[in-house]
Structure 1
Amino acid sequence: MHLKVVIFALSFVTISAYPLQRNTREATWNHSKANQVHDKTDFSKDVDNLYKSHLDSSSLYKQEDDDDNKNPVAVEMQHKLNLESERLRSRLRQELAELQDRLSTSPAQLSSTLASMRERLAPLTQHLQSSLSTNTQDLCGQLSLYLQGLETADVQTEASPARYQETVHWMTQALEHSSSKLADIISDFHTKTVGVIEHLTEILADEEEAARLMSSRFGQEVSLLRVETQNRVGALKAEFAALPETARPLKAEVTASVEMFCEKAALQNQVFQVRLEKLFQGLEEELEDQRASSLSPSPASSSQQPGGSLQEDFSAKLSALIKDILHSV
């Protein structure tokens, strides 16, 4: 009896010290899962990689199948389209390159070109200036000698009307001879000037317009100089021809006419040099204005000169290119 009591007491003490848990099986499962080693890789990444690999493989096989199943007509058409596209691309590049070349000339380059032309033409203009001055001095000196001879004869003995007429005749001959020499000098200057400008045109291919305009302006100045020289000589010859043949002409009138002629000749030489300087300045301004107007033409100028401006020229070429593209497509 006492033994049973002791066993019961020991059992009660044991149960009180270690009570039973209700979720023993769940705790055991969680504990084992927490200590279990498993793969930490994100499942979504594996799915993406697999999908991408599938796409790459499918596109590869699909490309191979397309290459095998391509129609020869389609292949030929694609080849023709590629050739036509390259041709149109090359043509557009060429048009743009030409436009860039036409726009590349800056005012600084234009000034440099004109300065080069002026430097090449300077020896010719200086030689012309010197020749004109020498010719004028020789002619006026010769006319003065004739007048001095007539005055000497008049002082020594009373000169006859025939002596006056003879002197006027020799003075007229001197005028004609000087006028002929001047014409040769001016013609030689013009010929050499044209040669220099043509040579510059070959060197400066981009400045053909400037060279052409300069040649035209120089031609105008030379023609004006020739006309002025002929008119001056012709006016003095007309005065000599108007002198009476029978009566002795007034020596003072002849002397005054010769002096005025020589003054005008010397002044004309100086004016010609000034006109050449202004020619270069006006030429540069005119070329700049022309290029500015060609880049932004007014409606009036566009209607008067169709296709003459840079904008219209490029627009026409671009329209033709677009039509060609549409026709090719």
Structure 2
Amino acid sequence: MKLYFFSAFPLNDEISREAWSLQKDNQATDKKNFDKDSNSMWKNHVVSSDLYSEDSYNPMAAELRRKLSMESERLRARLKQELAELRERLSPYPSHPKHTLANVKEFLAPFTKQLQTVLQSNTQDLCEKLNLNLQELNPEDAALYQEAVQKITTALDESHQRRTAAFEDFKTKAFEAVEEERDGSGKELWEEVTARLGQEVCTFSLEVQGKVAALKIALIGHLASAQPPREVMASKVDQFCQNSATRNQQFISNLDQQMTTLQESQSHGESTGFHQTNIESIQEDFSTRLTALLQDIVHTLN
């Protein structure tokens, strides 16, 4: 059982050395139930207390779960900080009354609709694969068990690739359409449209990255035990899928709301100046920090 676990989730030398020396480390782990924080972004702790029963205790697996728990908590804190800073610094930027569009939301509707369809389809496909692979888990058959574990990891990775491609496709098509309009009139207006779309896409992408990373850490932590709790893992997947569907809908609503707010502010003649240089600086700064954060997540999972 241990041999196949190493294949699915390799340990670095530090974890390996520490794990072999553990005797009763499990006793140092607080087994109380952890709740969501005040913002309900995600669990403070991804390891189920059910895994700490004496029947399934394994020193190496227990230490790995402790390490994963600490990493997930650290990543959760960083994700919340990045999101809070992005929201605070990028929103709201004022609109300009000089150039108006009859309906900004209607203009962008084909692109947001296509993105919504792709996101919903991707979420549904991922959840179906995860549930199917969990049903195929059989620790007594080492070969099939290893294959099922690999399928779970592959499903998560492929879903991420499709989601990233959908975001890029949306930005390319929507921004190209905006560029065409900006060439004709209302350059400052369309610069703000681009900035607001970019804000929502970056924020949502980061949120999803964090949620998927948390799920992956949780599942791999459970799979490390001698008797993987299939019902617990299935429950986590169901919760992830339900929340993902809700977040997808909220993301599209946020895009629509940004455009509605922009249009309404124009109709009321609000204008205090558009700081394009400042937005570019913010986006560049956030892009750098986002890249570092995602690399950190990848390093944690590898």
Compute the TM-score of the two structures, normalised by the length of structure 1: 0.49
Equivalent-residue separation in structure 2 for 1:272 and 1:244 (angstroms): 32
Structure with more relative contact order (C-alpha pairs < 8 Å, separation 6 or more): 2
Residue in structure 1 matching 2:166, options 175, 185, 188: 185
The equivalent of 1:124 in structure 2 is 111
**What's the CA shift for 1:186?**
0.6
Equivalent-residue separation in structure 1 for 2:102 and 2:124 (angstroms): 33
**What's the CA shift for 1:134?**
0.6
Gaps in structure 1 of 5+ consecutive residues: 1-103, 295-329
Equivalent residue of 1:243, what SS? helix
The equivalent of 1:263 in structure 2 is 242
Identity %: 32
1:226 partner amino acid: S
Residue in structure 1 matching 2:226, options 239, 247, 253: 247
Point out 4+ residue stretches in structure 1 off by more than 2 angstroms.
117-120, 147-150, 158-169, 243-246, 284-294
Are 2:195 and 1:222 equivalent residues in the alignment?
Answer: no
Residue in structure 2 matching 1:200, options 181, 185, 199: 181
Equivalent residue of 2:140, what SS? coil
Q: What is the number of residues matched between the two proteins?
A: 178
Q: Residues 189, 223 of structure 1: CA spacing in aligned structure 2 closer, same or farther, 3 A cutoff?
A: same
The equivalent of 1:280 in structure 2 is 259
The equivalent of 1:84 in structure 2 is none
Equivalent-residue separation in structure 2 for 1:149 and 1:248 (angstroms): 14
CA contact (8 A) 1:161 1:247 kept: no
Alignment of 1:131-210 (within 5 A): 131-150=118-137, 159-160=140-141, 163-203=144-184, 205=185, 207-210=186-189
CA contact (8 A) 1:142 1:174 kept: yes
Q: Residues 286, 246 of structure 1: CA spacing in aligned structure 2 closer, same or farther, 3 A cutoff?
A: same
**What's the CA shift for 1:105?**
5.3
Equivalent-residue separation in structure 2 for 1:244 and 1:146 (angstroms): 12
Q: Residues 290, 159 of structure 1: CA spacing in aligned structure 2 closer, same or farther, 3 A cutoff?
A: farther
1:253 partner amino acid: V
**What's the CA shift for 1:180?**
0.9
1:239 partner amino acid: A
**What's the CA shift for 1:145?**
1.4
Are 2:198 and 1:211 equivalent residues in the alignment?
Answer: no
The equivalent of 1:310 in structure 2 is none
Equivalent-residue separation in structure 2 for 1:253 and 1:265 (angstroms): 18
Compute the TM-score of the two structures, normalised by the length of structure 2: 0.53
Q: Residues 148, 105 of structure 1: CA spacing in aligned structure 2 closer, same or farther, 3 A cutoff?
A: closer
Equivalent-residue separation in structure 1 for 2:135 and 2:223 (angstroms): 20
2:165 partner amino acid: D
CA contact (8 A) 1:139 1:174 kept: yes
**What's the CA shift for 1:217?**
0.1
2:132 partner amino acid: L
Q: CA RMSD in A?
A: 2.6
Equivalent-residue separation in structure 2 for 1:245 and 1:161 (angstroms): 13
Residue in structure 1 matching 2:214, options 235, 243, 250: 235
2:131 partner amino acid: S
Alignment of 1:41-120 (within 5 A): 110=100, 113-115=101-103, 117-120=104-107
CA contact (8 A) 2:97 2:267 kept: no
Equivalent-residue separation in structure 1 for 2:97 and 2:204 (angstroms): 33
